[in-house]
Amino acid sequence: MYDIAIVGAGINGASVAYEFASVNKKVVIFDMQGVASGGSGAAGAFISPKFSKAGELKELIHDAFVYSMEFYEKNFPKLLTKAQLLHIAKDEIDSEILKYYKVHTTLELKTPSDEVLNSLTPHAKAQEHISLDAGVVNAQAMCKAMCENARFVNEKIESLEYDDGMWVINETYSAKNVVLATGAYEQIIKEPYIKLRGVWGHRIDIKTTTENPYSVHQNVSISPSSDGVLAIGATHNVHYHPQTATESYDLNEGRAELLEKASRTINLEDVEVIKDYTGLRSGSFDYMPIVGSLVMSGETIMASGNRLRVKKPNVEEFSYYPNLYMINGNGGYGFVLAPYLAKMLKEYILSGKKISDRVSPARFFARWVKKR
């Protein structure tokens, strides 16, 4: 019997596994492919804030960025590469956002070195830019390290049933709590109000004689050089989904697109692609992440007699699955948000600390009822 069972071993599931194992809870984590086998393994795993003028998502990612940089440096220093980030505007709108951000951010900004600026293409060098201390983590190694003190089970979840105060998984494993961290691949609990956007990601590792000491972001994200190798990645295809596509993803076309976009920013020389990473990343339709308890839609509607308040719903009145939670929908900020959200979820489960309604799955239930 486990204190907590986690379904999905990407960065969300791995972060939850680490949080609970760190307080001596017995943890089992399931994945039908392997640790970081999906979108997390294909991520560039850049630790960066969100550059925008305002909004709840910007503020959430800001807090998560500050927290996660400290978290990785404290707990996994060998898997974190601290590097200055250089974010370059893509267009005039982006340029105005960066100008605003520079004036209003509380983060300490840096001045890029002449060496870095001289490595940019003339077009990129002429654009508005912003620089600050940030980092990159080793995506697959990080997820595996986080799962080290949990039991890993390489199985597809065929059944999940609640019986006598315990969740029974595949008729074999039992756990007091279950966390669903399945990304955009699979919905274990079929609730109509939970819908995720699957966004295809592609990253390539390349050998190049170009030296790049910074994390550079413009049309794509480019990692700092390490022994002549750098990574180029993007969440760049919003239409391809491996489970619904009629044709396989074209790796060569994806590589060509990544290299072309990277070459708009820095001068790449003597390029050789040495490895591809692909996977489906999950995002929500309001772009905020999802973390917290799952509402039982049918039971909640029946209990209300179809008289639910939907304009200003009281989420405390909803019926919830017992000890069943979700963490998902981080989009391109998975490695920034996951440690922060996992800590939030741990404090909610173990101490009853409230999770904001803006990130709770309950917000989607209320909207779904309103549309009905």
Tens of pLDDT, residues 130-139: 999 999 999 9
28 and 176 fall within a common domain: yes
* 336 band by pLDDT with thresholds 50, 70 and 90: very high
Select from 257, 281, 305 the last residue of a domain: 281
123 and 229 fall within a common domain: yes
In a domain, 229, yes or no: yes
CATH code, domain with 236: 3.30.9.10
Q: Which residues contact 176 (CB under 8 A, 6 or more apart)?
A: 1, 2, 3, 4, 165, 166, 167, 323
Residue pair 39/64 in contact by the 8 Å Cβ criterion? no
354 and 208 fall within a common domain: no
Identify the three-state secondary structure at position 159.
Answer: coil
Is the pLDDT at 39 greater than 90? The verdict is no
Residues 273-298 pLDDT 10s: 999 999 888 999 999 999 999 999 99
* Residue-number span of the structural domain to which 9 is assigned: 2-38+142-196+285-371
> Rounded to an integer, what distance in angstroms lies between the CA atom of residue 83 and that of residue 79?
13
DSSP element (H, E) containing 263:
helix 251-263
212 and 100 fall within a common domain: yes
CATH code, domain with 152: 3.50.50.60
Is the pLDDT at 369 greater than 90? The verdict is no
225 and 337 fall within a common domain: no
Select from 225, 246, 281 the last residue of a domain: 281
DSSP element (H, E) containing 75:
helix 56-75
Backbone dihedral angles phi then psi of residue 225, each to the nearest 5 degrees:
-70, 145
What is the token pair recorded at 141? 């190694």
Q: How many domains does the chain have?
A: 2
Is the pLDDT at 41 greater than 90? The verdict is no
In a domain, 62, yes or no: no
Residues 51-68 pLDDT 10s: 999 899 999 999 999 999
224 and 339 fall within a common domain: no
127 and 217 fall within a common domain: yes
> Rounded to an integer, what distance in angstroms lies between the CA atom of residue 36 and that of residue 317?
37
329 and 248 fall within a common domain: no
Looking at residue 353, its amino acid is K
Residues 66-116 pLDDT 10s: 999 999 999 999 999 999 999 999 999 999 999 999 999 999 999 998 888
User: DSSP of 112-178, one letter per residue?
Assistant: --HHHHHTB-HHHHTS-EEEEEEEEE-HHHHHHHHTTTSEEE------EEEETTEEEETTTEEEEEE
Backbone dihedral angles phi then psi of residue 85, each to the nearest 5 degrees:
-100, 135
Give the other-Cβ count within 10 Å of 173's Cβ.
Answer: 19
pTM assigned to the model? 0.94
Write down the pLDDT at residue 306: 64
Interstrand relation of 173-180 and 2-7 (parallel, antiparallel or unpaired): parallel
> Rounded to an integer, what distance in angstroms lies between the CA atom of residue 252 and that of residue 264?
19
